[in-house]
């Protein structure tokens, strides 16, 4: 659902400030340490954005949001002061299980997958998914119209699963809603599907966008509690019911403009349905056997495979760009006219000295501002290629400078120009010298390619994230993914060793080298 910086795009109407909780925890903790009641520590991600939990634009040290108000109300009901604990949204459930906080309260949909791992209170809010398009769009009215279109959503969300269930949609999953709606406004996407509250706060205020179609799907948010914490679960359920009956929850939603028909129905159901039935259905849905898990696990292997292929394609293309551009940079630096040599030096230093992640953001989200709109794939390849070109340039420089001066003198004395000497004599020898460091860099790039998941590329690491967050199995899926990376990288290491032996400057043992590559023998054959 929600995960990245959101403060930039906050709506100007921010009605509630009275219930904002101080982010300065020291004061709250210090005060409570002496009292008999423990605070109710609730985990959420303040980077998730409005209207859930987000920094007050007028004073970023404070947080606000309808869930901040709910936490405060619950705290009052339980007689335990609510204390906010910041936690990355993706990791809310692991954080809860580790005991970093007592409850996870941050737009967590109640899903069977999650119920295998934690327990949920009764739902506190119900809503649906909302489709947004550009104002001038007239052909998209429902899910069925999305076939063949590019549609953005948030990673790991129900919306993403709904889109995946439809065929023929080009899905782009984003870390944060702001980027998704921005890309919709600037034409990179044809539509965006997200939880209705997010759409209310980020899509509706945007004059370039509009809502379209009926509500899609149904989701209910619940408060996550550790499975062994039954007492807290019951207390929270009771407190929530009280807040519903007393109308406080409704008042909170109305203040935030979030009251909707789904929640009306939910409140009806909560007030009238017997608790025992809720309890019973909850136990039914829990605890699937591990065999089922493994089966699901295997079922996701094709997904990992597709991610691996994408990782390979991105890495190989990116490296091809890097070695080509790197050679140009090195030659310009070593032999170009002075201004060009300086420019090349500056490029190398700046690119090596700044984080790849920021370079990727600039390329993908920054360049559209000046009219250059790259597809995620192109942005990934260009980003990795431009970055690694700086490292390759240094490899080449070292390689070229390692070639004895006599080589270029011999070439020049035969009448070759500097350029001809480089092309036919120096560079071919330097290329052979740099094979080991370039292979090294290729393997590094191969792993660094995982970073392009932040610009909506679905590659191996992104698939890992999806699977791990679906099953809360960060270890098993993690080991599996790491193994895939390792196995994919292995052939390149061997290929490079072989190429190194094959193209060794003196080429003394080409035959044995070839045998070694094929695994036939391990010693140089004599004769």
Partner 1 sequence: MEGPARQLITVEDLRKSFGHAEALRGISFSVTPSSLVVIIGPSGCGKSTLLRCLNGLELFDSGRVHIADVTLERHDGTVPRDLRHRLRLLREEVGMVFQSFNLFPHMTVLANAAKAPMVVKGMGRDDAETRARAVLAKVGLSDRLDYYPSQLSGGQQQRAAIARALTMAPKVMLYDEPTSSLDPTLVHEVLQIMRQLHDEGMTQVVVTHEMRFARDAADRILFMHEGLLVEEGPPAEVFGAPRDPRTREFLKSFL
Task: Return residues touching partner 1 (CB under 8 A).
Answer: 404, 406-407, 409-417, 420, 424-425, 428-429, 432, 505-508
Torsion angle, CA of 86/91/95/101, rounded to 10 degrees?
A: 30
Cβ-based nearer residue to partner 1, 265 or 419: 419
Task: State in angstroms the smallest separation of the CB of 336 from partner 1.
Answer: 16
Q: Which residues on neighbouring strands pair with residue 386, listed in sequence order? A: none
Residue 301 or 414 having the CB closest to partner 1: 414
* CB closer to partner 1 out of 76 and 502: 502
Determine the distance from the C-alpha atom of residue 438 to the mean position of all C-alpha atoms in its chain, rounded to a whole number: 28
Coil vs helix vs strand at 199: helix
Q: Minimum CB separation from partner 1 for residue 404, in Å?
A: 8
Task: Rank residues 189 and 421 by Cβ distance to partner 1 and give the closer one.
Answer: 421
Q: How far is the CB of 459 from partner 1 (least distance, A)?
A: 37
- The least CB distance from residue 526 to partner 1, in Å, is 14
CB of 413 to partner 1, least distance (A): 4
Query: Which residue number, 404 or 491, has a Cβ lying nearer to partner 1?
Result: 404
CB 341 to partner 1: min, Å: 19
Question: What letters, b where the CB count within 10 A reaches 16 and e where it falls short, cover 218-238?
Answer: ebbbbbbbbeebeebbebbbe
Q: Which lies closer to partner 1 via its Cβ, residue 35 or residue 407?
A: 407
CB closer to partner 1, 308 vs 434: 434
The minimum distance between CB 414 and partner 1, in angstroms, equals 4
To the nearest 10 degrees (0 to 180), the angle between helices 230-245 and 248-255 is 70
Are 426 and 400 contacting, i.e. CB atoms less than 8 angstroms apart?
yes
Query: 422: which DSSP letter?
Result: I
- Distance in Å, CB of 435 to partner 1, minimum: 13
Nearest to 63 by CA among 4, 19, 103: 19
In angstroms, the CA 29 to CA 25 distance is: 6
Closest distance between partner 1 and the C-beta of residue 431, in Å?
9
* Pick 236 or 422: Cβ nearer partner 1: 422
**What whole-number distance in Å separates Cα of residue 295 and Cα of residue 65?**
40
Which residue has tokens 């009764």? 122
In the numeric block, the tokens 């001038």 are attached to: 136
Beta strand pairing status for 170-174 and 150-154?
Answer: parallel
Helix (H) or strand (E) holding 466: helix 460-471
Minimal distance, residue 429 CB to partner 1, in Å:
5
Bridge partners of 131, per DSSP, are: 193, 212
CB of 319 to partner 1, least distance (A): 23
**Min CB(175)–partner 1 separation in Å:** 48
**CB-nearer residue toward partner 1: 324 or 420:** 420
**Residue number with CB closer to partner 1 (246 or 428):** 428
Q: How far apart are CA 302 and CA 502, in angstroms?
A: 36
Token readout for 422 is 């480089």
Closer of 23 and 503 to partner 1 (Cβ): 503
User: Three-state SS string across 321-382, please?
Assistant: HHHHHHHHHHHHHHHCCHHHHHHHHHHHHHHHHCCHHHHHHHHHHHHHHHCCCCCHHHHHHH
Give the strand order in the sheet containing 54-56. 21-22, 59-64, 54-56
Query: What is the SS3 string spanning 379-404?
Result: HHHHHHHHHHHHHHHHHHHHHHHHCC
Question: Please, what is the minimum distance in Å from the beta carbon of residue 501 to partner 1?
Answer: 14
62: its two tokens: 């404070």
Cβ-based burial of 52 (10 A; exposed 0-12, middle 13-18, buried ≥19): buried
The phi, psi pair for 414, rounded to 5°, reads -85, 0
CA 150 to chain centre: 18
Nearer to partner 1, 345 or 514 (CB): 514
Please identify, using beta-carbon distances, which residue of 99 and 436 lies nearer to partner 1.
436
**β partners of residue 455:** none
């Amino acid at each position: 659902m929600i995960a990245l910086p959101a403060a930039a795009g906050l709506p100007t109407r921010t009605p509630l400030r009275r219930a904002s909780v101080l982010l300065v925890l020291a004061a709250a903790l210090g005060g409570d340490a002496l009292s008999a009641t423990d605070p109710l520590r609730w985990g959420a991600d303040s980077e998730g954005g409005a209207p859930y939990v987000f920094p007050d634009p007028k004073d970023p040290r404070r947080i606000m949001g309808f869930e901040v108000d709910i936490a405060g109300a619950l705290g009052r009901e339980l007689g335990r002061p609510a204390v906010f604990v910041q936690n990355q949204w993706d990791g809310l459930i692991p954080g809860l299980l580790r005991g970093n906080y007592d409850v996870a309260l941050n737009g967590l949909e109640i899903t069977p997958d999650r119920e295998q791992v934690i327990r949920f209170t009764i739902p506190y809010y119900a809503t649906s998914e909302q489709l947004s398009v550009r104002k001038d769009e007239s052909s998209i009215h429902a899910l069925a119209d999305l076939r063949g279109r590019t549609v953005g959503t948030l990673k790991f969300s129900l919306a993403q699963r709904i889109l995946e269930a439809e065929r023929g949609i080009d899905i782009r999953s984003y870390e944060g809603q702001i980027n998704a709606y921005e890309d919709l406004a600037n034409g990179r996407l044809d539509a965006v599907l997200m939880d209705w509250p997010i759409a209310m706060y980020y899509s509706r205020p945007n004059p370039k966008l509009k809502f379209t179609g009926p509500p899609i799907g149904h989701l209910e948010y619940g408060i996550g509690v550790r499975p062994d914490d039954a007492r807290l679960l019951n207390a929270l359920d009771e407190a929530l019911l009280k807040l519903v009956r007393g109308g406080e929850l409704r008042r909170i939603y109305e203040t935030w403009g979030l009251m909707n028909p789904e929640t009306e129905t939910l409140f009806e159901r909560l007030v009238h349905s017997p608790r025992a039935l809720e309890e019973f259905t909850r136990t039914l849905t829990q605890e699937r056997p591990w065999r089922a898990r493994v089966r699901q696990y295997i079922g996701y292997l094709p997904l990992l495979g597709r991610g691996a292929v994408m990782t390979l394609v991105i890495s190989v293309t990116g490296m091809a760009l890097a070695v080509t551009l790197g050679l140009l940079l090195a030659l310009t630096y070593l032999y170009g006219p002075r201004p060009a040599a300086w420019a090349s030096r500056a490029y190398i230093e700046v690119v090596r000295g700044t984080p790849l992640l920021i370079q990727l953001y600039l390329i993908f989200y920054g360049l559209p501002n000046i009219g250059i709109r790259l597809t995620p794939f192109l942005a990934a390849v260009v980003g990795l290629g431009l970055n690694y070109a700086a490292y390759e340039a240094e490899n080449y420089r070292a390689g070229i400078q390692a070639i004895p001066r006599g080589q270029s003198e011999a070439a020049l004395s035969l009448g070759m120009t500097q350029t001809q000497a480089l092309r036919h004599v120096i560079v071919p020898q330097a290329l052979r010298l740099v094979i080991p460091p370039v292979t090294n860099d290729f393997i590094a790039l191969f792993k660094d390619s995982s970073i392009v998941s932040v610009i909506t590329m679905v590659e191996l690491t992104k698939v890992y994230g999806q699977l791990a967050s679906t099953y809360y199995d960060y270890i098993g899926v993690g080991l599996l993914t790491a193994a895939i990376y390792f196995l994919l990288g292995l052939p390149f290491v061997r290929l490079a060793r072989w190429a190194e032996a094959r193209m060794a400057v003196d080429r003394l043992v080409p035959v044995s080298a070839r045998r070694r590559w094929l695994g036939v023998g391990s010693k140089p054959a004599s004769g």
